[in-house]
């Protein structure tokens, strides 16, 4: 019962946070300097046309009225029409979202799989020569800007060695029956490798360091000492006892990283001409395309909040000591 | 003793100044020049730095303000009284090969309040010339008027013209026959003519080109981004196309002929077909022009609003009757309106009339035109695929035209070398880098050519001291354009003093550029002659003029 109540409580919080996000999004871009009309400045642009456009965009109405209309539309699941592309925002986001998701998840899964294993290994080899080399190396990858790393990988693996293509999700003019057919093709894998690798290299430091420090803490715990005294093999101690316990906070960071990565993709999507949401977001902000900006940010906010919520709830399930009561 | 002598002297000179205040007005307030950031517009930023430096030598206090485009355009365009000077640019487009749009819209007083004359330049003499060239159908007489307009502007310097940049493109000469590449004057080699005539040398027959910007829409009734026009100029035909020489050329029209200054008779080419197989009829043509003014295509409306009526004659002739004489009609209307099939668009437009949205937000799943390429596929922000229309009267020699969206300039050059693209159609980087890459590669050909577009510094003609033509002349004369060409554009530009690019040979008044003399001494002399004075290194207004705008 208390569990149900906890979930309801979370849901209410979720709704409140969303409303705040929606309101901030609405005000932020309207109060920012810049004008959506700037995208249309052209010698042939007449006064009547400007006024017609303002009316069409609903920008001739007072701010509070625009806000009410915006909220009303949102409640009906209507994200509006992009000023620039003149097409429904939802359609545009949905066309780009799969590309962003596949890039995000493939890179994060690689990063976390590697980070967790390497973190556990490094904790186990604490004080060894391996650690002396590995830790500075990991810190270096954390400090490298993504665009720089992306350009270096591009220069080496694409332009110099010619192993991977430089941009896009498929070769010029290649046609696939469905997104599924594209995503399961070998060609797609070749196009995905470099951008995913860039993101993975950039992202693996966090789970690695987190895993390592958790492991070091856990290894000092009494139950680990107990397991060793029992004479269990090192493998069993490290993997079955220590690693499982050290994993929890890393899983939370994964959930948060998904949300973070959705917007962090901007740079990598630009470097590798990846047709995703991040690139679109930058364009929309600079063109003052309010509906598109609001829609895209709203989606990202929902994902972030949702992933946090899931992480919170999962925590309770994975570790009975954490209670929601 | 010596000190005393000096003190007496300076006291005396102070006394003279105090006694005759008419000698100098107030010091000119610090003036602000806007530029976009170095990261996005390196050449503009560098030019403005050089200009500010020269202006400071004249005794002005100059502040360079760096603003992103969104903020800059917001102030310049919507708060017209609140700025001094700003860097600005006009881009070239085929239909701007006729100088009317620039001569009229940028400087005619009627567009000063809310239109493109955002600088607030008002000169009745100029208005008369701008209007007269618009009405003059005789090419030779019209040329004289265009020359006159350029002379008045050179005299008044409402803007400070800087350069006509050179556009640089490249292609793989192992894939495409270099002889089949067409250089359209003022546009460069990336143009419709090139795409139609590119001849494959080997197995590769797809034109694969890049763009840094996304395609916004492929809609014959919506003027969206510049890249979009590359696409719809291939999918849709027009009665007239601007030829490689910059002059109009009959296209879907077999011929056209003026009958008086308000009537033009067009003969439609026989045997044309829409991409869905139906014939192109005179009714379709008439419908295309009517669709523009139907109220559902507001951006195209200005281009067709001068048409009084269109009569379909026997055979396949159409007679256009105009409301006002318009010399630019052939280029800016017949060469601008996309021909669209009536059977596709009439139901759509009737349906849209009952709705809040207009045709600008109607994206066809499969756009149908009659042009040299057919629409095949559009992947959002990734690529557009067109296939050659082999039945077209000017059928392309390539098989497909594939536009890849590549926001990363360095990657685009790398892709050109690796063969992922074979025509570099958009290059915003340093041309020297490209030349070097071509040298290393051996398979690439780089072509630079002067644009019809231009870069300039706009003066706010409403605000003192910029309301004084003499002041504007001096500021303009202070800067050697060769310096801008070399230091800011690394040689890839032509110095300018005219809004009509040398690329438009017929209309360009070479004399106004040749006669323009620049230098610090010339500028200082101009200011002195106009009564401006230097006091303690600071420039002052002439006479007893007060500074009314100082903060």
pLDDT tens readout for residues A238-270: 777 778 778 888 888 888 788 778 766 888 999
Q: Are residues A64 and A146 in the same domain?
A: no
Residue window 392-431, chain B: list those with CB within 8 Å of chain A.
Answer: 400, 402, 404-408, 410-411, 414-415, 417-418, 420-421
pLDDT-derived band at B7 (thresholds 50, 70, 90) equals: very low
- A102-114 residues labelled b (16+ CB within 10 A) or e (exposed): bbbebbbebbbeb
Q: Does A47 touch chain B (CB under 8 A)?
A: yes
Our CA dihedral for A294, A296, A300, A303, rounded to 10 degrees, sits at: 100
pLDDT tens-digit profile of B213-264?
Answer: 899 999 999 988 789 999 999 999 999 999 998 889 999 999 999 998 899 9
Both tokens assigned to B272: 């044309």
What's the confidence (pLDDT) of residue B5?
Answer: 47
Size of interface A-B (CB pairs under 8 A): 147
CB A202 within 8 A of CB A260: no
Residues of A in contact with B214 (CB under 8 A): 280, 283
> Sign (positive/negative) of CA torsion A55, A58, A62, A68?
positive
State what percent of residues in chain A have pLDDT above 70: 96
What's the confidence (pLDDT) of residue B11?
Answer: 45
Most A CBs within 10 Å: which of B113, B114, B380, B458, as the mutation test of the A interface? B380
Q: Are residues A216 and A186 in the same domain?
A: yes
pLDDT-derived band at B357 (thresholds 50, 70, 90) equals: confident
What's the confidence (pLDDT) of residue B356?
Answer: 81
CA of B15 vs chain A CAs: smallest distance (Å)? 50
Both tokens assigned to B215: 């395609």
- Mean pLDDT on A179-196: 93
Helix (H, G, I), strand (E, B) or coil at B219: coil
A48 domain residue, yes or no: yes
Q: What is the DSSP code (8-state) at residue B188?
A: B
C-alpha span between A179 and A98 (Å, rounded): 8
What's the confidence (pLDDT) of residue B17?
Answer: 45
pLDDT tens-digit profile of A270-285?
Answer: 999 999 988 898 888 8
Q: Does B327 touch chain A (CB under 8 A)?
A: no
Nearest residue of B to residue A88 by CA position?
B361
Residues of B in contact with A98 (CB under 8 A): none
Q: Are residues A74 and A108 in the same domain?
A: no
Q: Pick the last residue of a domain from A51, A78, A105.
A: A78
Of B303, B382, B410, the CB nearest to A169: B382
Q: Are residues A142 and A223 in the same domain?
A: yes
Residues of B in contact with A273 (CB under 8 A): 382, 404-408, 411
Q: Are residues A61 and A148 in the same domain?
A: no
Q: Are residues A173 and A32 in the same domain?
A: no
Q: Does B217 touch chain A (CB under 8 A)?
A: yes
A35 domain residue, yes or no: yes
The number of domains in chain A is: 2
- Mean pLDDT on A216-243: 81
Q: Pick the last residue of a domain from A78, A105, A140.
A: A78
Helix (H, G, I), strand (E, B) or coil at B415: helix
Q: Are strands B85-90 and B423-424 parallel, antiparallel or unpaired?
A: unpaired
What's the confidence (pLDDT) of residue A2?
Answer: 65
CA of B267 vs chain A CAs: smallest distance (Å)? 28
Q: Does B355 touch chain A (CB under 8 A)?
A: no
Measured in whole angstroms, how far is the alpha carbon of residue B362 from the centre of its chain? 27
Neighbours of B484 (CB within 10 A): 22
- Is the pTM of the predicted complex or chain greater than 0.90? no
Burial grade of A32 (CB within 10 A; 0-12, 13-18, 19 or more): middle
A171 domain residue, yes or no: yes
Q: Is the pLDDT of residue B137 over 90?
A: no
CB B531 within 8 A of CB B543: yes
Of A85, A158, A275, the CB nearest to B217: A85
A91 domain residue, yes or no: no
Of A34, A86, A272, the CB nearest to B217: A86
Q: Is the pLDDT of residue B19 over 50?
A: no
Residues of A in contact with B74 (CB under 8 A): 33-35, 38
pLDDT-derived band at A30 (thresholds 50, 70, 90) equals: confident
Task: Name the residue range of residue A304's domain.
Answer: 96-318
Q: Is the pLDDT of residue A323 over 70?
A: no
A90 domain residue, yes or no: no
C-alpha span between B25 and B23 (Å, rounded): 7
State what percent of residues in chain B have pLDDT above 70: 96
C-alpha span between A206 and A212 (Å, rounded): 10
What's the confidence (pLDDT) of residue A322?
Answer: 64
Neighbours of B140 (CB within 10 A): 7
- Mean pLDDT on B366-375: 96
C-alpha span between B402 and A33 (Å, rounded): 37
Measured in whole angstroms, how far is the alpha carbon of residue B305 from the centre of its chain? 22
What's the confidence (pLDDT) of residue A36?
Answer: 80
Q: Is the pLDDT of residue B103 over 90?
A: yes
Q: Does B290 touch chain A (CB under 8 A)?
A: no
CA of B387 vs chain A CAs: smallest distance (Å)? 10
Q: What is the mean pLDDT of chain B?
A: 91
How many helices (H) and strands (E) are present in chain A, helices listed first? Answer: 14, 0
CATH of the domain at A192: 1.10.3720.10
Q: Are residues A56 and A112 in the same domain?
A: no
Both tokens assigned to B122: 């008002």
pLDDT tens-digit profile of A32-51?
Answer: 777 787 777 777 777 777 78
CB B246 within 8 A of CB B360: no
Q: Is the pLDDT of residue B484 over 50?
A: yes
Closest CA to B130 of B147, B143, B149, B151: B149
Q: Are residues A13 and A149 in the same domain?
A: no
Q: Is the pLDDT of residue B551 over 80?
A: no
Q: Are residues A232 and A285 in the same domain?
A: yes
Q: Is the pLDDT of residue B14 over 50?
A: no
Long-range CB pairs of B493-498, under 8 A, 24+ apart, other chains included: B493/B163, B493/B164, B493/B165, B493/B166, B493/B450, B493/B455, B494/B163, B494/B164, B494/B166, B494/B450, B495/B162, B495/B163, B496/B161, B496/B162, B496/B163, B496/B164, B496/B454, B496/B456, B497/B154, B497/B161, B498/B150, B498/B153, B498/B154, B498/B161
Q: Are strands B31-35 and B62-66 parallel, antiparallel or unpaired?
A: parallel
Angle between helices A186-203 and A146-153 (to 10 degrees): 140
Nearest residue of A to residue B218 by CA position?
A85
Q: Does A159 touch chain B (CB under 8 A)?
A: yes
What's the confidence (pLDDT) of residue B210?
Answer: 95
Exposure on the CB side of residue B383, measured as CA atoms within 13 A: 24
CB contact under 8 A, A81 and B361: yes
Q: Is the pLDDT of residue B460 over 90?
A: yes
C-alpha span between A166 and B170 (Å, rounded): 18
Residues of A in contact with B383 (CB under 8 A): 168, 172-173
What's the confidence (pLDDT) of residue B20?
Answer: 45
Cis check: omega of the bond before B465, within 30 degrees of 0: yes
Residue B168, beta-bridge partner list:
B448
Residues of A in contact with B407 (CB under 8 A): 270, 273, 279
DSSP B201-235: -SS--EEEEEESSPP----TT----HHHHHHHHHH
Nearest residue of B to residue A271 by CA position?
B408
Angle at B130 between CA B128 and CA B134, to 5 degrees: 110
Q: Are residues A248 and A167 in the same domain?
A: yes
Q: Is the pLDDT of residue B438 over 80?
A: yes
Q: Does A169 touch chain B (CB under 8 A)?
A: yes
Both tokens assigned to A3: 């569990």
Residue window 41-80, chain B: list those with CB within 8 Å of chain A.
Answer: 68-71, 73-74, 77-78
- Mean pLDDT on B305-320: 92
Nearest residue of B to residue A94 by CA position?
B380
pLDDT tens-digit profile of B49-79?
Answer: 999 999 999 999 999 999 988 788 889 988 8
- Mean pLDDT on B434-457: 93
C-alpha span between A299 and A296 (Å, rounded): 5
User: Could you tell me where the DSSP H helices lie in A176-243?
Assistant: 179-183, 186-203, 205-219, 222-229, 234-235
Lowest mean pLDDT among A48-57, A202-211, B176-185: A48-57
- Predicted ipTM > 0.95: no
pLDDT-derived band at B4 (thresholds 50, 70, 90) equals: very low
Closest CA to A213 of A162, A302, A138: A138
pLDDT-derived band at B549 (thresholds 50, 70, 90) equals: confident
Cα R_g (chain B), whole angstroms: 27
What's the confidence (pLDDT) of residue B23?
Answer: 60
Q: What is the DSSP code (8-state) at residue B81?
A: T
Q: Does A51 touch chain B (CB under 8 A)?
A: no
CA of B472 vs chain A CAs: smallest distance (Å)? 23
Q: Are residues A50 and A144 in the same domain?
A: no
A24 domain residue, yes or no: yes
Most B CBs within 10 Å: which of A29, A30, A38, as the mutation test of the B interface? A38
Of A43, A52, A286, the CB nearest to B116: A43
CB B253 within 8 A of CB B193: no
Q: Are residues A124 and A53 in the same domain?
A: no
What's the confidence (pLDDT) of residue B196?
Answer: 96
CB B544 within 8 A of CB B33: no
What's the confidence (pLDDT) of residue B18?
Answer: 44
Q: Does A165 touch chain B (CB under 8 A)?
A: yes
DSSP H or E segment with residue B265: strand B263-268
What's the confidence (pLDDT) of residue A1?
Answer: 52
Closest CA to A277 of A301, A299, A302: A299
Both tokens assigned to B240: 């007239």
Burial grade of B42 (CB within 10 A; 0-12, 13-18, 19 or more): middle
pLDDT tens-digit profile of B183-198?
Answer: 998 899 999 999 999 9
Q: Is the pLDDT of residue B134 over 60?
A: yes
Residue with tokens 């002067």: B450
A185 domain residue, yes or no: yes
Q: What is the DSSP code (8-state) at residue B400?
A: E
Helix (H, G, I), strand (E, B) or coil at B403: strand
A325 domain residue, yes or no: no
State what percent of residues in chain B have pLDDT above 90: 73
What's the confidence (pLDDT) of residue B77?
Answer: 87
Q: Pick the last residue of a domain from A78, A104, A137.
A: A78
CB B24 within 8 A of CB B535: yes
């Amino acid at each position: 019962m208390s569990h149900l109540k906890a979930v309801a409580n979370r849901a209410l919080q979720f709704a409140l946070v969303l409303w705040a996000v929606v309101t901030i999004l609405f005000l932020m871009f309207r109060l920012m300097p810049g004008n959506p009309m700037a995208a249309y400045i052209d010698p042939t642009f007449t006064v009547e046309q400007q006024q017609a456009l303002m009316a069409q965009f609903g920008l001739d109405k007072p701010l509070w009225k625009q806000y009410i209309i915006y909220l009303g539309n949102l409640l009906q699941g209507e994200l509006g029409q992009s000023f620039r592309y003149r097409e429904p925002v939802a359609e545009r986001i949905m066309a780009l979202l799969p590309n962003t998701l596949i890039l995000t998840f493939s890179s994060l899964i690689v990063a976390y799989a590697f980070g967790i294993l390497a973190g556990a290994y490094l904790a186990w080899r604490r004080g060894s020569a391996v650690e002396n080399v590995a830790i500075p190396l990991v810190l270096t990858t954390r400090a490298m800007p993504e665009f720089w790393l992306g350009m270096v990988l591009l220069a080496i693996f694409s332009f110099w060695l010619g192993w991977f293509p430089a941009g896009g999700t498929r070769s010029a003019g290649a046609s696939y029956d469905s997104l599924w057919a594209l995503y399961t093709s070998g060609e797609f894998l070749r196009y995905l490798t470099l951008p995913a690798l860039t993101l993975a290299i950039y992202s693996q430091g966090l789970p690695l360091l987190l895993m390592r420090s958790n492991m070091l803490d856990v290894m000092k715990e009494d139950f680990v000492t107990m397991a060793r005294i029992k004479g269990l093999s090192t493998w069993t101690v490290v993997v079955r006892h220590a690693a499982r316990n050290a994993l929890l906070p890393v899983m939370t960071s994964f959930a948060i990283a998904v949300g973070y990565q959705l917007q962090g993709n901007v740079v990598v999507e630009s470097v590798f001409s990846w047709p995703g949401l991040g690139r679109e977001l930058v364009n929309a902000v600079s063109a003052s395309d309010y509906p598109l900006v609001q829609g895209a940010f709203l989606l990202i906010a929902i994902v972030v909040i949702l992933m946090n919520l899931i992480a919170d709830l999962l925590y309770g399930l994975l570790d009975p000591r954490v209670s929601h009561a | 003793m010596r000190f005393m002598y000096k003190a007496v002297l300076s006291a005396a000179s102070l006394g003279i100044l105090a006694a005759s205040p008419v000698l100098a007005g107030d010091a000119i307030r610090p003036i602000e020049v806007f530029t976009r950031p170095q990261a996005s517009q390196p050449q503009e930023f560098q030019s403005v730095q050089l200009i500010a430096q020269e202006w400071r030598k004249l005794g002005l206090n100059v502040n360079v303000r760096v603003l992103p485009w969104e903020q800059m355009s917001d102030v310049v365009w919507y708060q017209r009284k609140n700025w001094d000077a700003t860097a600005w640019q006009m881009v070239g487009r085929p239909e701007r090969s006729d100088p009317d749009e620039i001569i009229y819209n940028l400087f005619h007083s009627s567009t000063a309040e809310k239109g493109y004359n955002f600088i607030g330049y008002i000169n009745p003499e100029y208005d008369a010339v701008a209007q007269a060239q618009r009405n003059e159908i005789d090419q030779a007489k019209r040329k004289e008027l265009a020359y006159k307009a350029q002379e008045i502007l050179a005299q008044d310097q409402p803007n400070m013209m800087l350069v006509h940049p050179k556009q640089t493109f490249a292609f793989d000469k192992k894939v495409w026959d270099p002889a089949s590449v067409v250089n359209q004057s003022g546009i460069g080699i990336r143009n419709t003519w090139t795409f139609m005539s590119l001849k494959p040398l080997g197995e590769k027959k797809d034109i694969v080109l890049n763009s840094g910007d996304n395609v916004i829409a492929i809609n014959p009734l919506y003027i969206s981004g510049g890249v979009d026009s590359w696409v719809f100029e291939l999918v849709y035909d027009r009665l007239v196309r601007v030829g490689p020489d910059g002059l109009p050329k009959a296209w879907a029209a077999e011929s056209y002929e003026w009958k008086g200054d308000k009537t033009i008779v067009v003969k439609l080419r026989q045997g044309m077909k829409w991409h869905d197989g139906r014939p192109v009829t005179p009714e379709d043509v008439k419908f295309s022009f009517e669709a523009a003014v139907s109220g559902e295509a507001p951006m195209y409306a200005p281009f067709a609003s001068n048409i009084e009526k269109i009569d379909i004659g026997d055979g396949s002739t159409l007679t256009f009757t105009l409301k006002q004489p318009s010399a630019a009609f052939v280029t800016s209307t017949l060469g601008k309106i996309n021909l669209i099939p009536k059977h596709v668009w009439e139901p759509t437009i009737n349906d849209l009339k009952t709705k809040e949205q207009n045709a600008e937000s109607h994206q066809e799943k499969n756009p149908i035109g009659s042009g040299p390429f057919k629409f095949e596929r559009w992947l959002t922000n990734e690529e557009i695929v067109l296939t050659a229309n082999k039945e077209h009267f000017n059928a392309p020699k390539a098989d497909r035209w594939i536009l890849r969206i590549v926001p990363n300039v360095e990657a685009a050059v790398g892709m050109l070398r690796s063969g992922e693209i074979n025509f570099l159609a958009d290059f915003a980087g340093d041309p020297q880098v490209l030349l070097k890459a071509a040298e290393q590669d051996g398979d690439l050909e780089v072509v630079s050519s002067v644009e019809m577009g231009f870069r300039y510094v706009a003066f706010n003609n409403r605000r003192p001291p910029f309301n004084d033509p003499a002041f504007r002349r001096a500021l303009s004369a202070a800067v050697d354009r060769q310096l801008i060409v070399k230091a800011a554009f690394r040689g890839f530009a032509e110095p300018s003093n005219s809004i009509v690019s040398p690329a438009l040979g017929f209309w360009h008044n070479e004399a106004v550029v040749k006669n323009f003399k620049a230098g610090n001494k010339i500028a200082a002399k101009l200011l002195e002659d106009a009564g401006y004075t230097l006091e303690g290194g600071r420039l002052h207004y002439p006479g007893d003029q007060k500074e009314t705008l100082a903060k």
